[in-house]
Chain A
Amino acid sequence: MSRISIEQVKHVANLARLAITEEEAETFTKQLDKIITFAEQLNELDTENVKPTYHVLDMKNVLREDIPKPGLPQEVVLKNAPEHKNGQFKVPSILAE
């Protein structure tokens, strides 16, 4: 039985902001299905009373004093920008006309 459909793969690609071709969608469907089928073996384990480990060290909130410091200079921040204008990152229009 297939655990993941091509429609799901296309939906996930959209969530991940990845443009994929029809051919890639088919390949990903096969490959992800194989990986997810493999991952199903975790269901052999009863974990009902097991707490999840999100972090291996027993750390709680790590706080420090809030001391104001100068930020990075604008020209440094913009140094690697593909496009910028008037000290801001430039992108294509967000809203359709």
Chain B
Amino acid sequence: MSLFDHKVSDLHELLHKKELKVSDLVDESYKRITEVESKVQAFLTLDEERARQTAKALDEKISTDAAKGLLFGMPIGVKDNIVTKDLRTTCASKILENFDPIYDAAVVQKLNQAETVTIGKLNMDEFAMGSSNENSGFKKTHNPWNLDRVPGGSSGGSAASVAAGEVLFSLGSDTGGSIRQPAAFCGVVGLKPTYGRVSRFGLVAFASSLDQIGPITRTVEDNAYLLQAISGLDPMDSTSANVDVPNFPGSLTGDVKGLKIAVPKEYLGEGVSESVRQSVLDALKVLEGLGAVWEEVSLPHSKYALAAYYLLSSSEASANLARFDGVRYGYRTPNADNLLDLYKNTRAEGFGDEVKRRIMLGTFALSSGYYDAYYKKAQKVRTLIKQDFENVFEKYDVIVGPTTPTPAFKIGENIDDPMTMYANDILTIPVNLAGVPGISVPCGFDSGLPLGLQIIGKHFDEATIYRVAHAFEQATDYHNQKPQL
């Protein structure tokens, strides 16, 4: 049994009673990494020396004063697009291979205040563009449940490290499903908060109007504690929202009696595998048994979300990634004798294929003569998709469906066809376009591969999502299953 089979609140209790030390938790992390990392390949950078020093300092602190916060001493992994001061941050891109940030992201500052221990930085698709971690510039992460399968992406390292027991929990980021899809593939709990709930300061921007940082954990309760710690208005991010942060763990009452669930018919239609469909119907039976009611609804513009998303996210990416030019930081080509060639060759040599493809698409969609036809059209369709959600939420508390159309696919299976790879995100993308929150919780298995149930809520109503997810989790046993590594 691993220490990480305990919930955060139980570990906190053990620390409090001095039956456990922070050093034990950090030891557990690196011991497990030594055992399984060669198979899973979740980490890009380990920060062992500093983590052990921090653990020692925290243990000294706790011996003099026991009244510490709940996350005190908990070992965490951080996705490699979240900047960490003096700790290598690459976004899994060759263009940032040697980049050591000069400040901490807002979420990292908050973790430091909560006194967690950062174990290392986690692999991802380059600049968060991808659904399998195969687009990483450095390594391929493997799914702990089946090493021939992808962990999902782009937060593949974040989900795989938690599933493999290498860290207690982790942070990921989600632009079109990048937390929820890998959480589903790896059998863990992943939440994309409402746009604006968590500061993006220090998150290397992919698509600024869609990106959100969120927690990946083994249980819903742990997820609520971690979101609690990283939420809130930040003067450094003008898109972070000035709204109250409720007590998320306090919302886990187990009571869903009378809760109204909407099930979009588009989310159980074409392209969704039979095993996934059945697992969602079974989950709805469980929720019905707990007193919730569900009805079929329609989100009629769902089928247009994928096209709108790729135009918008690529357009924003093409602008955001203009900063990587070989001048102020990052890789610089040795092959240039004038400034224009310096830019062009630095970017050609530094970026991977998928990143280049999206920069090209975005530049095209924003270019003179095409802006109205593509970019502006997609922003209008975004309005229609947002209205779909608003209409449903007038009558229902949450929307429930699958997180992904299929379980984890094989490494190499989709990599040659961008369109097939993109289609993996059809059930998660509309949530980002509308800016609403969504969670994935384990809801079954297909041939030993985990499946995820997606629960979507109203703007800033993560509390209700957590309540439903927790009630479901407590009524089922999926979250207690562990991969054999």
Contact = CB atoms under 8 A, between A and B. Distances in A.
Nearest to A41: B307
B310 A20 contact: no
A53 B250 CA distance: 34
Contacts of A77: 102
Nearest to B436: A56
Contacts of B367: 12, 15
Interface magnitude class on chain A = 35 or more
Nearest to A84: B328
Interface string B370-387: 000010111111111010
B241 interface: yes
Contacts of A91: 327, 339, 342
Interface string B179-215: 0000000000000000110000000000001000000
Interface in A25-67: 28, 31-32, 34-36, 38-39, 41-45, 47, 50-57, 59, 62, 64
B115 interface: no
Interface in A61-93: 62, 64, 72, 76-77, 79-83, 89, 91-93
Interface stretch (B133-141, B276-284, B330-338): B330-338
Contacts, number: 162
Name the interface size band of chain B.
35 or more
Nearest to A44: B304
B356 interface: yes
B314 to A, nearest CB: 9
A92 B332 CA distance: 11
B382 A93 contact: no
Interface in B313-336: 318, 322, 325-332, 336
B251 interface: no
Nearest to A38: B307
A51 B327 CA distance: 39
A57 B304 contact: no
Contacts of A12: 360, 363-364, 367
A49 B301 CA distance: 16
Contacts of A59: 239, 241
Given A15-B367, A57-B239, A80-B99, A51 B383 contact: yes
> Which A-B residue pairs are the 5 nearest by beta carbons?
A56-B435, A52-B379, A80-B329, A82-B332, A47-B380
